[in-house]
Amino acid sequence: MPDAPMPPLQLTDVQRSVASELDRIAPVIDELGRRFADAGHELSLVGGPVRDAMLGRHHNDLDLSTSARPEQTERLLKGWAEAIWDMGRAFGTIGCRKGEWQVEITTYRSESYDPSSRKPDVDFGDSLVGDLGRRDFTVNAMAVRVPGREVEDPYGGVVDLAHRVLRTPGRPEDSFSDDPLRMMRAARFAAQLGFTVDESVVAAMTAMADRIEIISAERVRDELVKLVCAPYPRLGLALLVETGLAERVLPELPALALERDEHHRHKDVYEHTLTVLEQAIDLEPRLPGEGPDFVSRFAALMHDVGKPRTRRFVDDGTVTFHHHDVVGAKITRKRMKALRFSNDDIEAVSKLVELHLRFHGYGTGEWTDSAVRRYVRDAGDQLERLHVLTRADCTTRNQRKADRLRRTYDELEERIARLSEEEELASIRPDLDGNQIMQILGIGPGREVGQAYQHLLELRMDLGPMTEEQARDHLLTWWAARG
């Protein structure tokens, strides 16, 4: 996984890629192009689909721009599209579905912004070039007219794409003043595409970082999720830190650059964290499902955020971060709430941060079966992600130590698998249920039933499965001891 930009593309490869993609989507763009042309309107494929076509990336969500007004677009789609929606009508956008394709067609726009708000005043424009000029980056400001397939590239997007560079069509200061979220998008596109960011764009992002504060937490969160789930998140995260944007949206990340890891003094915790993130990504095939796993990646990013608050200097010159796992979980929960993450995501990531050090008490296998059961119970439905995070957290350059840690964790996973097969650890329960407890003790519903249930659960963890008679004897002994 690179932390540096990839080599330039050859223009011949770009041309070949875009021709191949246009042939693939021809059933949509050629038919629509003719319908609009016959009605006297222009229609062009624009933005991300054009950029991705040149990169050889395929998808079935198509963005088009037109001289037609929304009501005219809607009329032209009737009888062709299988479904039509107009939630974006206020912004000039009509959406539709045709077979496997989802299409959004937007009237040429000319926008002005209130400096205190990201929301534009939308005015319809009258030219494709003017519409392209209001887009975020030159690689997104290209178009292909349909059905004729003439490429429109008024701002040099093809050259920038070939050189893998992000620039704005006009002055970056104007672009970011209009829409500060574009600064986050620069980091996100760097992470998604593996591109470098032009120096003038970086300078504007640095000077205008405070402008991000007018953007809603939800929009910042969405860009951050896309960045973290991108192929090269280190590139985007490093840009956020370099420009000062991270101080405003995820201040826990740049704070790590000030800390030293107690086990690897040659590394700061920030670099260690980015390495853990990359190693967690490499381990994602271990997880169920396909594609990027945001929870696993974000837990890797946040796992050491408790270190700045727990740093202590010892007399012998070493540095400790005791309880940074617990403190980090609290910090993570607070940050994710501020960014309006779902409760499920907050709880999952926070649990992983809190548990990421638990394995280090395993030593060379000293845990009893009881301790292994508790490890599984505490991880709950995050056990597979905890396996990934724990393995990714090993960044030592000492190969012998790394191999030893890997073998030890292999052994722990084998013990978990064996116990799970024998005892169904994932759904572990006491050997008596609440009704049986009340019947044996002769009591009704109340606090004592819950206390008895918890006692039997702890016994189940310590002793493993028991017969009903054994569980009954333990319950009565506990009850008698309570008087």
* DSSP string computed for 23-69: HHTHHHHHHHHHHHHHTT--EEEESHHHHHHHTT---SEEEEEESS-
Q: What is the pLDDT of residue 223?
A: 98
Instruction: State pTM to two decimals.
Output: 0.82
- Residue with the two structure tokens 């396996």: 387
Domains 171-250 and 271-427 are alike in CATH topology: no
Do 94 and 86 form a contact (C-beta atoms < 8 A)?
Answer: yes
The separation between the first and the last C-alpha atoms of the chain, rounded to the nearest angstrom, is: 63
Q: What is the pLDDT of residue 111?
A: 58
Query: How far is Cα 252 from Cα 71, in angstroms, rounded to an integer?
Result: 48
Question: Domain 271-427, what architecture?
Answer: Orthogonal Bundle (1.10)
Rg (CA), the chain: 28
Ranges of residues in the chain whose predicted pLDDT is under 50: 261-266
Cis peptide before 147 (omega within 30 of 0): yes
If DSSP codes are grouped into helix, strand and coil, which group holds residue 124? strand
Question: Domain 11-163, what architecture?
Answer: 2-Layer Sandwich (3.30)
Q: What is the pLDDT of residue 117?
A: 56
165-180 pLDDT, tens digit per residue, is: 999 999 999 999 989 9
Q: Any idea where the domains of the chain sit in the sequence?
A: 11-163, 171-250, 271-427, 434-481
Q: What is the pLDDT of residue 266?
A: 41
Indicate the burial class of 26 (C-beta count within 10 angstroms; 0-12, 13-18, 19 or more): middle
Query: What CATH number does domain 171-250 carry, 3.10.180.10, 1.20.1540.10, 3.30.450.40, 1.10.110.30?
Result: 1.10.110.30
Indicate the burial class of 312 (C-beta count within 10 angstroms; 0-12, 13-18, 19 or more): exposed
